Amino acid sequence: MPKVHGGLPITWVDSMAFASGLEPSAANAPGKSTYAGTAPNEIVLPTYSPGGGNPLRSFGTLQLNHDQFIGSTATGTGSTSMVLKPHVHWTCSTSPTTNTFCEWKMVYLYSKPAVTISSAIGNNARFGSTVATSTGRTTMPASTQSPDFAFRHYITPLQDITIPSSLCGPSMIFMFGLQASTATTLGQSPMLLSFDIHYQNGPAGTDTDTA
C-alpha cells in the first residue's frame, strides 16, 4: 500500500535522462556499438569500458517535477528530508561470465532555484574533489539459472541520496556524471539504456508555477 498524506496516496515517479541525451566528455567519451540490426536499420548504444585509470563517462542533468513530495514536520509526515533513488538501466550484446559484476559510479550535484549549487551539497570547493558519489553493483547469476544473459535489460540501483527539505524545491536541478567503475569485473563493455531517479510525489507537491 502507498503511504498516505492528508487522505491521499504518495507514490513514486521517475525523473529520467535517456542515454542519447547524455553529453559525453571530449577526452573520455563513451564508445558506441551496434546493439541489434545492420546499417541502415540498426540500433546503436553507448558503451562504457571500465578499464584504465580514467574510465569512459557521460554527463547529464535532470529537473525534478513540480509534484515532488517534500517531507516536513509541519505536514505531519515526521520527515525533514527527501530521498532520491537513482538507477542505471543497461545491457550487454554478449553473455557475461557467471558471478562477474558491473559496478556503476555516479558523481552528482543538486540545487533548488536561487540556491548556490556548492551550498546545496555542503561543498565549499565547488566542483572540487568532495563532490558526492553514489555507486551500485549488479552480479551475473549462476549459469544454471539461464544459459545466456546477453541482450537482457539490467537495472542497477545506486545508493539512496537523502536531501534536507530546506534544499528541495520545485524545478530542482540534479547534475550527474556517470561511468562504469574500474571495480567492474564483467569482462566486456556494458551498454547504457537509460538513467533515472525515483522520487516521491503526492498532494504536498507544489501548486505554483515558478519555472
State the residue for C-alpha cell 542515454.
19
Average pLDDT, the chain: 75
d(CA 102, CA 182): 9
State the residue for C-alpha cell 546503436.
44
- Residues 74-133: tens digit of each pLDDT: 444 456 778 888 899 999 888 888 788 889 988 888 888 887 776 666 544 444 445 678
Query: 49 CB contacts (<8 Å, ≥6 apart)?
Result: 31, 55, 56, 180, 189
What is the maximum span of the chain, computed from C-alpha positions, in angstroms? 58
C-alpha cell at 45: 548504444
Task: Tell me if 170 sits within 8 A of 115, measured CB to CB.
Answer: no
- Residues 168-199: tens digit of each pLDDT: 877 888 888 888 888 888 888 899 998 888 88
